[in-house]
């Protein structure tokens, strides 16, 4: 037991710089299959982000369609008489615009992040740049 505590106390005095300079980390070779799997994972995440972007655009456009129908049919009703119906509809449309905007902005940010990850992999492993545009 005292030997175990002695080893723990020896490790407690090791600085982070000494831990980072281990020879194991300097000569680490990553197989090509692992790199290709990393790129495939990033591309799958990018595909998911593009799907979220498509959904955001759809959610954003839906209120515009509803409002255009209301404007086109406005000659058939008096706005003041149906205000109790139009007001909740406008609130829902505003909420959908906010949700659509959030989805679009979040998807664009994630797509840029994923592009940067792919660029880093291409710079680190030059052989993969001929396969990825």
66-113 pLDDT, tens per residue? 999 988 998 888 888 989 999 999 999 999 999 999 999 999 999 999
Instruction: Determine, yes or no, domain membership for 60.
Output: yes
Instruction: Determine, yes or no, domain membership for 91.
Output: yes
* Confidence at 14, pLDDT banded by 50, 70, 90: very low
Instruction: Determine, yes or no, domain membership for 22.
Output: no
Closest CA to 56 of 17, 96, 28: 96
Instruction: Determine, yes or no, domain membership for 9.
Output: no
Closest CA to 62 of 102, 88, 93: 93
Query: What single DSSP character describes residue 15?
Result: -
Number of domains the chain is built from: 1
Range of the domain at 76: 30-130
Instruction: Determine, yes or no, domain membership for 38.
Output: yes
The whole-chain average pLDDT of the chain stands at 83
Q: Which of 4-13, 22-31, 65-74, 111-120 has the lowest average pLDDT?
A: 4-13
Q: Which two tokens stand for residue 52?
A: 């979220």
């Amino acid at each position: 037991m005292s030997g175990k505590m002695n080893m723990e106390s020896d490790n407690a005095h090791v600085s982070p710089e000494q831990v980072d300079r281990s020879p194991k980390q300097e000569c680490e070779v990553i197989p090509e299959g692992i790199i290709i799997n990393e790129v495939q994972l990033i591309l799958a995440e990018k595909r998911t982000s593009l799907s979220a972007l498509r959904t955001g655009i759809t959610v954003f456009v839906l209120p515009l369609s509803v409002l255009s129908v209301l404007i086109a049919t406005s000659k058939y009703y008096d706005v003041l008489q149906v205000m109790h119906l139009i007001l909740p509809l406008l609130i829902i449309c505003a909420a959908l615009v906010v949700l659509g905007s959030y989805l679009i902005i979040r998807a664009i940010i994630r797509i840029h992040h994923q592009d940067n990850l792919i660029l880093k992999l291409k710079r680190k492993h030059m052989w993969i740049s001929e396969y990825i545009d």
